[in-house]
Chains A and B, each alone.
Chain A
Amino acid sequence: MMDRTPLYEEHIRLKGKMVNFAGWEMPLQYGRINEEVMAVRNSVGIFDVSHMGEIYIEGKDAVEFANLLVTNDVESLKNKQICYTPMCYENGTIVDDLLVYKFKERKVLMVVNASNTNKDFEWISSKAKGFDIEILNRSPEIVQIAFQGPKAEAVLSQISQIALPEIHYYHFTEGRINGIRSLVSRTGYTGEDGFEIYIDKDAAIPMWRKLIEIAKQIKGLPCGLATRDILRFECSYMLYGNDIDSTTTPLEAPLKWTVKMNKERFIGKKALEKQIQEGIKRKLIGFEMFDRSIPRHGCKIFQGREEIGYVTSGNHSPTLGKELGMGYVKKQFAKHGTDIEVEIRGKRKKAKIVKLPFYKGSVKS
């Protein structure tokens, strides 16, 4: 039996096409995927992302402990600030990528991938010895709704008792939206400006319906996971399980900016230090297809006779009207402008390495 979010019945009511995603029965799409993508790029889109995991770390050593777990610097965050970060194994490969919300010295929230919630909880718990902390997996009680698009702030302000313009990029606050107690952050996975709203599951349906109602005025749409995947892909955000996983390091992925080697210690530091000294052997790159075809996860990448890597994500980009892909290639081939070939269903298709991200939206960064 698959898990369902508290908004399951709403998805059925909206005629969502339901699919299994990491053990969750989630909407893939409600209508046309391209229309959902355009709604987010031009107006606003609403996503039920309650399948994501929320793990709280509370106690005297909360910040210090979180800082040991992840590669980015949690200690340097101000209260109510957030960072994106990988969490690594000792060998430098990635357990998960997540957001760390710092409430105060004694409390942080980690928002993790649905597919990894249990694994992460176990991993985090296994490292807690000697720290004065409590680790709580509150995922089942929390509903998360992403409200994303260039018009998100203007329209959400109508029902918000919080001054949204005061929430800066990668910051959060607590207050009421539509009268409902919410944690609101200016974060997202779409490349557009917008918010992620965390509420108690009992308030899920009134909040969801209100968000749909206000979005409708500006041609906003509820959006499914297929749309979410295209939006994140166009902006080259990593997808765990596709672009990064327990065989890749943040240095091979374009995540060097999240690895703070000046931190005194963190899990994986030694291995990553070594990788920096020796130099990475492969690198995640973006490419544009010349021959029309969609590269899929796992397709091989060639230059001439030599197999130089593999595709991690690929799609048709509705925003750019092109077929694009990302994948790992041997370091010496990773330069922008390099001609490559991708083997798609037995045929070599021409492509060229291009700069990432493919697209930059209204995100405030």
Chain B
Amino acid sequence: MKFYTKTHEWIDINGNKAKMGITNHAQKALGDVVFVDLPDVGKELKKGDTIISVESVKAASDVYAPVSGKVIEINETLKEKPELINEDAEGKGWILILECLSNPDTSDLLDEEGYKKIVEVEG
């Protein structure tokens, strides 16, 4: 199931694994991404922790963990090609995969419709 956050992350939950990145809306607002400082595999994250900063020509933006878990995979390709986030934020531009202890808490995450509304309000 794919969810979104108010802070413009997307997360695709499959059992106890969750793949995540920033939304297409976020990459547009950010402009050309020049680098992503990826965390180490094995790092434990609590929901709401800052995972990384995505730096673009215009600004930097923090990416928060939408759920708690351990980093089990990072998108190594982003080290060489950070522009994948601009090209395909919600596909090839994924940032990392988290492994959650139990089924993650999704109660305050948004579905696509809910996220669309937020984006519309923010303009």
Interface residues of A (CB under 8 A from B): 28-29, 32-34, 226, 230, 292-294, 296, 315-316, 318, 323, 344-345
B55 A34 Cβ-Cβ under 8 A: no
B83 A34 Cβ-Cβ under 8 A: yes
28 interchain pairs, CB-CB under 8 A? A28-B31, A29-B32, A32-B32, A32-B83, A33-B32, A33-B57, A34-B32, A34-B83, A226-B32, A230-B57, A292-B37, A292-B55, A293-B37, A293-B53, A293-B55, A293-B60, A294-B34, A294-B55, A296-B59, A296-B60, A316-B34, A316-B35, A316-B55, A316-B57, A323-B35, A345-B53, A345-B60, A345-B62
How far is it, in angstroms, between the C-alpha of A344 and the C-alpha of B55 when the chains are bound?
A: 12
Residues of B40-82 contacting chain A, CB below 8 A: 53, 55, 57, 59-60, 62
B32 A294 Cβ-Cβ under 8 A: no
Contacts of A28 in B (CB 8 A): 31
Contacts of A345 in B (CB 8 A): 53, 60, 62
Interface residue tally for chain B (C-beta within 8 Å): 13
Contacts of A296 in B (CB 8 A): 59-60
Most B-side CB within 10 Å, residue of A230, A294, A296, A344: A294
Contacts of B53 in A (CB 8 A): 293, 345
Q: A32-B83, A345-B60 are in contact. Are A292 and B32 (CB under 8 A)?
A: no
Per DSSP, chain A at the interface is mixed
B57 A226 Cβ-Cβ under 8 A: yes
Minimum C-beta distance from B14 to chain A (A): 31
Which residue in chain B gives the minimum CB-CB distance to A226?
A: B57
A292 B57 Cβ-Cβ under 8 A: no
Contacts of B60 in A (CB 8 A): 293-294, 296, 344-345
Chain A to chain B: the 7 pairs with minimum beta-carbon distance, closest first: A316-B34, A33-B32, A294-B55, A292-B37, A226-B57, A33-B57, A32-B32
From B57, B62, B83, B86, contact of A315 by CB (8 A):
B57
Which residue in chain B gives the minimum CB-CB distance to A230?
A: B57
B34 A292 Cβ-Cβ under 8 A: no
A318 B37 Cβ-Cβ under 8 A: no
Q: A226-B57, A316-B55, A345-B60 are in contact. Are A292 and B35 (CB under 8 A)?
A: yes
Which residue in chain A gives the minimum CB-CB distance to B36?
A: A292
Contacts of B86 in A (CB 8 A): 32
Minimum C-beta distance from B36 to chain A (A): 9
From B34, B59, B62, contact of A318 by CB (8 A):
B34
